[in-house]
Amino acid sequence: MSFDPAPRRRYEDACGAAHGLELLGDRWTMLVLRELMLGPRRFSSLRSDLPGISARVLTQRLAELEERGVVRRVTLPPPASVQAYEATEWGLEAEPILQELGRWAARSPSHDPSLPVSAVSIILSFRTMIVPERAAGLDRRFGIEMGDQQFVGRLEGGALSFAQGADDEAEFVIRGAPENFAAVVYGGAPRELVEIEGDVAAAGEFLSLFTLPPKVGA
Amino acid sequence: MSFDPAPRRRYEDACGAAHGLELLGDRWTMLVLRELMLGPRRFSSLRSDLPGISARVLTQRLAELEERGVVRRVTLPPPASVQAYEATEWGLEAEPILQELGRWAARSPSHDPSLPVSAVSIILSFRTMIVPERAAGLDRRFGIEMGDQQFVGRLEGGALSFAQGADDEAEFVIRGAPENFAAVVYGGAPRELVEIEGDVAAAGEFLSLFTLPPKVGA
DNA sequence: CCGTATCCAATAAGATACTG
DNA sequence: CAGTATCTTATTGGATACGG
């Protein structure tokens, strides 16, 4: 076992949550991991979806996450053949942390949903905020496209899953900026803010599967 | 006096998780909240269960949490009539965040369970690590005592709950240092490390309800 | 005992420029 | 594009002193 050269600040606390904070608790770390939850990403793609992060800090965070076994560097398959970062299996298992954090904070009076939001954030929010009773029994394949980021979604017996990429068998595809998805799904904005291709009724049904928790005091 | 002269660093990100990190993501903040999960605590009690925190930082964190509506200052009922801090209802709802963080980090190869641990951490770990199938159908009232901190526990139809205090109707009481509870429950150490009063069989059964998730790679 | 206030040194983060 | 290097600023933690 190698001695950590720069003895990272620890909590000296056996509590699992304390160790979790040692692994993921530095500024930006969980948000970097969030962006990796749906598949490998390149450095500049991460940077552009994490507004305000500096190249230096992103480099550091990726290196730390790699050292801790949460993230690994990969070479994307040909023809791309470029370097990227992806979450390890264990890294992907951190999704419930982000979900609980998001679910809890969505009740905050100080939460401002009008801020910019990344494509991955929106997709992950669907997994968090889905109302199981509304999704029960539905079986769908569809596409979500935001800018140049494409995702395939599947709804199978109430379970909702996503991955990067496209699906030829999609029943519908919804396109729009992440902010517009947020406005339509959570803000009650008209559906015209997003573009729907294919089965419009099924797409509309999909866009109605989600709900935010009530604000504190409401 | 002025605790917020500089505008707090935000993420400028509508993602709920990002806002959660703005609320709870500073160093020590979640651990302070953890210590409040089972009832009000005094400043010095918090400080002694958060080894390494400075009075200054604890003061700051409590003030920030209060400002954000997560914690409030209270005066304990007579005859104590002293000041303390307690989590608000919404603050208590953050428990699943700590649970997921702890559950995830317990799988880390770098997790060191031999470090010191607070009484509250142990109690919360019981709620996280309980194996529902083992607890199903059990109905118990009991006490847990670590140093001068007393807790009452209830197991009702698989649900495990705790609060500060004592219970005259307890079927058993288990006493010991938090580290010894950890060793017995999670480390397979002999039960003699903790002291059992009352129904020894029921206490032994209770101590066997919990299990840690497997380490990564195991 | 329960904090608050101040000062100081060590880190971490942010901004910006730059290189292979 | 994918980072480094460098400089500046902010935050942290430690020590200590102080008031209720």
pLDDT over 50 at B107, yes or no: yes
Of B48, B78, B105, the last residue of a domain is B105
Element (H, E) at B121: helix B119-129
Same domain, A72 and A149: no
Share of chain A above pLDDT 70, in %: 96
Angle formed by the axes of helices A119-129 and A95-105, to 10°? 80
Other Cβ atoms closer than 10 A to B26: 19
For chain B, say whether A13 makes contact (Cβ under 8 Å). Answer: yes
Question: Which of A54, A59, A210, A93 has its CA nearest to residue B100?
Answer: A93
Which 8-state DSSP code applies to residue B210? B
Q: Are residues A91 and A126 in the same domain?
A: no
**Element (H or E) spanning A103, and its range?**
helix A95-105
Q: What is the pLDDT confidence band of residue A93, given thresholds at 50, 70 and 90?
A: very high
Write down the mean pLDDT value for chain A.
93
Kindly report, residue by residue over A181-213, the tens digit of the pLDDT: 999 999 999 999 999 999 999 999 999 999 999
Separate counts of helices (H) and strands (E) for chain B: 10, 7
SS3 of residue A123 by DSSP: helix
| Residue A30 CB partners (closer than 8 Å, separation 6+) | A24, A94, A97, A98, A101, B17, B21, B25
Place B2 in a pLDDT band, splitting at 50, 70 and 90. very low
Q: In chain A, which residue's Cα lies nearest the Cα of B122?
A: A15
Query: Smallest Cβ distance to A31: which of B11, B106, B109?
Result: B11
Tell me, yes or no, whether A97 and A13 share the same domain. yes
pLDDT recorded at residue A8? 59
Residue A184 · residue A191 · CB < 8 Å: yes
Q: Which chain B residues have a beta carbon less than 8 Å from that of A22?
A: 105
- Compare B52 and A3 and report the one with higher pLDDT: B52
**Which residue range forms the structural domain that includes residue A172?**
119-207
Write out pLDDT tens, residues B120-176. 999 999 999 999 999 999 999 999 999 999 999 999 988 999 999 999 999 999 999
Confidence at residue A10, expressed as pLDDT on a 0 to 100 scale: 85
Q: Is the CB of A214 under 7 A from strand C?
A: no
CATH at residue B14: 1.10.10.10
Residues 69-88 of B with CB under 7 A from strand D: none
| pLDDT bucket at A27, cuts 50 / 70 / 90 | very high
* A6 pLDDT higher than 80: no
Q: List b or e across A122-152, with b for residues whose CB sees 16 or more CB atoms inside 10 angstroms.
A: bbbbbbbbbeeeebeebebbbbbbbeebbbb
Split into its structural domains, chain A has a count of 2
My answer on whether B37 and B123 are in the same domain is: no
In this structure, the answer to whether residues A67 and A96 fall within a common structural domain is yes
Structure tokens at B145: 């005592």
pTM of the model: 0.95
Q: Does some domain include residue B218? A: no
Q: Do the domain assignments include residue B160?
A: yes
Cβ-based burial of B114 (10 A; exposed 0-12, middle 13-18, buried ≥19): exposed
User: What nucleotides of chain D have any atom within 7 angstroms of a protein Cβ?
Assistant: 1-6, 10-17
Mean pLDDT of A69-90: 93
In-domain check, residue A214 = no
Distance CA A93, CA A38 (A): 12
β-bridge mates for residue A159, sequence order: A156
Q: Give the gyration radius of chain A's Cα atoms.
A: 19
Contact (Cβ atoms closer than 8 angstroms) between residue A197 and residue A175:
yes
Report the C-alpha gap between A137 and A121 in whole angstroms: 25
